[in-house]
Amino acid sequence: MANWVRSGLIVEGEKEHLDKFIEKAKGYCTTPLIGQEPDAEQASCLDFNNFMPIPAEFLTDENARFCWCEENWRDAISPHDADLDERSDVRAVYTFSTRNSPVLPVIEAMGQQFPMLRIYYGYAEPLAGFEGEWKCENGVMTGEHRPMPDGWRDSPEEPVASTQVPPPIQSLESSAIQVECGEPEIADEDIPF
C-alpha cells in the first residue's frame, strides 16, 4: 500500500514564461507504452514525463516503465489527482499526490528548464513523518527534507516513535534513492516499526 505524499507546487514569473510552463506541464497521469494511444481519461494538468522524459527503451512494457519512473522520478506514475488550483498572469499553483516519496528530481528538472521562473515545492507525508520545502531560482534548487515534528507513525492514532524518523536529506545529491525492481531483500532490522 502506498503512503501518499501530498504536494504543492507554486510557479511564478512573467506571463510569457509561465504560459509556456503551464502548456508544457499538460499531459497524462500514465505515460502510454510504445504503440498505445494516450487514454483521454488519464489527461492531467501536470505530467512528469514532459520534464524528465522516459527513454523509449523503457516504454516497451509496464514493468520497465514502472522501474525507470521509480528510479528517476521517485514515483511510478505522474502525479495522482493533480489540479491547477490557481492561475493568474504571474502565478500558477498546483496540488497533487505522489506515492511514497517527493519527486525532487522532477522539480529540479523543471527549475533547470525554466530558470526564469521561481518554483516552490512543498510536501508532507504525515504517516511516515516527513515534510520538505524546496525552491528553484535561476536553475538552482535549494531546500530541505525533514522529519515532521510529530515523527513517524503507523496511523494517526498511534503514539509517536521519534527514533523512527527517517534522516533528513542534506542535499539533492544525497537524496538519491536507488530502486531495484524484483523481490526486495529486507532484513527484519531494516523495518522501521
Given a cut of 90, is residue 83 above it in pLDDT?
yes
Average pLDDT of the segment spanning 108-123: 97
In whole angstroms, give the CA distance from residue 139 to residue 111.
5
Q: Would you state the cell numbers that stand for residue 33, as one nine-digit string? A: 507504452
Would you place residue 1 in the very low, low, confident or very high pLDDT band (cuts 50, 70, 90)? low
Average pLDDT of the segment spanning 35-58: 90
Q: Would you state the cell numbers that stand for residue 189, as one nine-digit string? A: 532490522
Share of the chain above pLDDT 70, in %: 76
Look at residue 184 in the predicted model and tell me its pLDDT: 37
Q: How far lies 135's CA from each of 18, 122, 149, in Å? A: 16, 9, 21
**Global pTM?**
0.75
Instruction: For 17-39, write each residue's pLDDT tens digit.
Output: 999 999 999 998 887 888 888 88
Given a cut of 90, is residue 122 above it in pLDDT?
yes
Look at residue 151 in the predicted model and tell me its pLDDT: 53
In whole angstroms, give the CA distance from residue 114 to residue 120.
13
In whole angstroms, give the CA distance from residue 43 to residue 129.
31
Look at residue 186 in the predicted model and tell me its pLDDT: 38
User: Of the ranges 13-17, 62-66, 155-159, which one carries the lowest mean pLDDT score?
Assistant: 155-159
Q: Cα 93 from chain centroid?
A: 15
Given a cut of 80, is residue 174 above it in pLDDT?
no
Q: Which CATH class is domain 4-190?
A: alpha beta
In whole angstroms, give the CA distance from residue 85 to residue 70.
26
In whole angstroms, give the CA distance from residue 131 to residue 84.
21
| Burial grade of 44 (CB within 10 A; 0-12, 13-18, 19 or more) | buried
